[in-house]
């Protein structure tokens, strides 16, 4: 027999929700500060490189991920995958002149694997949405 305390689970659920929202707010604020610092560094250097644009894009994606959580109460799995792809692209651009060919192939392979993962996850989301529509139709038809 499994011993469960549903009252304690329900009573502590708010701590998980609150801490998750608070930490994501901190991540959002810290990302805004980091992007402002990065922009200031670009201004001081008086130079904008492709790697800088990729870095700013990563900041935007992180802020978008936090915003997606607040609007839907869940983080789409594809967003962190896209952030990882962008980070790998930035790394390749920054280090491509001094990189060994094998390292470049490994990083390109990692991008390929992550891209495949993002595609598979997007298919899962589509299938899930189709199932929700079918369930809603069945529910409306039964009423």
pLDDT band for position 134 (cuts 50, 70, 90): confident
**Domain boundaries defined on the chain:** 6-142
Say how far apart CA 142 and CA 127 lie, in whole Å: 22
State the Rg of the chain over Cα. Answer: 21
Would you call 8 helix, strand, or coil by DSSP?
helix
Say how far apart CA 33 and CA 16 lie, in whole Å: 26
Burial class of residue 56 (count of CB atoms within 10 Å of its CB; 0-12, 13-18, 19+) = middle
Say how far apart CA 97 and CA 114 lie, in whole Å: 24
Say how far apart CA 54 and CA 60 lie, in whole Å: 10
For residue 63, what are the CA distances in angstroms to 49, 73, 116, 132, 142?
Answer: 22, 15, 24, 28, 42
Query: Residue ranges of the alpha helices (H) in the chain?
Result: 6-45, 50-72, 78-95, 101-142
pLDDT band for position 2 (cuts 50, 70, 90): low
For residue 64 the two structure tokens come to: 């978008």
pLDDT band for position 100 (cuts 50, 70, 90): confident
Burial class of residue 122 (count of CB atoms within 10 Å of its CB; 0-12, 13-18, 19+) = middle
For residue 133, what are the CA distances in angstroms to 72, 130, 139?
Answer: 18, 5, 10
Mean pLDDT (the chain) is: 85
User: Using one digit for the tens of pLDDT, what is the confidence trace for 36-55?
Assistant: 999 999 999 999 998 899 89
């Amino acid at each position: 027999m499994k011993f469960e305390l549903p009252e304690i689970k329900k009573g502590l659920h708010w701590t998980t929700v609150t801490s998750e929202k608070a930490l994501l707010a901190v991540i959002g604020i810290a990302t805004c500060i980091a992007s402002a610092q990065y922009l200031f560094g670009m201004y001081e250097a008086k130079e904008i490189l492709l790697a800088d644009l990729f870095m700013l894009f990563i900041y935007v994606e992180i802020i978008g991920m936090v915003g997606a959580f607040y609007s839907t109460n869940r983080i789409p799995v594809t967003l962190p995958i896209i952030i990882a792809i962008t980070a790998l692209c930035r790394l390749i651009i920054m280090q491509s002149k001094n990189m060994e060919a094998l390292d470049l192939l490994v990083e390109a392979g990692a991008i390929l694997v992550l891209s495949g993962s993002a595609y598979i996850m997007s298919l899962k989301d589509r299938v899930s949405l189709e199932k929700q529509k079918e369930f809603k139709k069945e529910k409306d038809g039964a009423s």
